[in-house]
Amino acid sequence: MIIFIDLILHRPKVYRHVLSNAINPETVNIQHLLWKLVFAYLLLDSYRSLLLRRVDNKSSFYESSFLICLKVLISVLSANAAFILSFAIAAKCLLNEVSRRRDIMLGILISSYFKIFLLAMLVWEFPMSVIFIVDILILTSNTMALEVMTESSTTRCIAVCLIAHLVRFLVGQILEPTTFLTQLGSLVHLSSLFRIA
């Protein structure tokens, strides 16, 4: 439990501990772990996309559930493919990391553990701004993991992760334009909450 709290607080020593133990080829089958993480990542990302679609009531009346699932699947796969490609290009250009690509992608998948918090929306009703907060936490966690794994400067790691997440967001908006309006409305609602507090 203490390790999980330290991960939420973004402590570099804990990230170093978790990532070095998870990516140790002597104790873990890395290929097996990579496929499990990819499956969990895509599943949680699909759930995120469905949560954002739930707000758009018009689509649920006119489209069948099969068509909605197909659209979500295509959107999630293409957005994540763009994320991986842009992350690899940005890491090569800004960090000169070419040799440990698989380890770095595994670290990015592990550091995206904040997506698990979306499952709380199955039980409790949260505003859609929670999805925006989870996205920011994933971005900062990915930056910390990249900084720990590559030992590069913080600004370069922030730039790499920001570029990759921005490309992923833009590709997602091209395929799902109503999602942008939903997230913009959530952001406006979140800023009004901060103003009230």
Q: Enter the tokens of residue 41.
A: 């990542």
How confident is residue 80, by pLDDT bands cut at 50, 70 and 90?
very high
**Total number of domains in the chain:** 1
Please report the pLDDT score of residue 192 as a whole number.
Answer: 61
Alpha helix ranges (H) inside the chain? 2-8, 12-22, 30-55, 57-62, 65-95, 101-110, 129-150, 154-175, 177-196
- Calculated CA dihedral for residues 194, 48, 79, 31, nearest 10 degrees: 120
pLDDT grade, residue 99 (50/70/90)? low
- Residue 29, number of CB atoms within 10 A of its CB: 10
What's the predicted TM-score (pTM) here? Answer: 0.78
Residue that is written with structure tokens 């990579």 in the block: 34
| Locus of tokens 């979500």 | 72
Per-residue pLDDT for 194 more than 90? no
- Residues of the domain holding 44: 2-196
Greater pLDDT, 126 or 160? 160
Residue 60 or 104, more confident: 104
Scanning the structure block, which residue is given the tokens 């922030």? Answer: 158
Give the number of other CB atoms < 10 A from CB of residue 133.
Answer: 15
Q: Per-residue pLDDT for 186 more than 60?
A: no
pLDDT of 167 > 60? The answer is: yes
Q: Is a pLDDT exceeding 80 seen at residue 193?
A: no
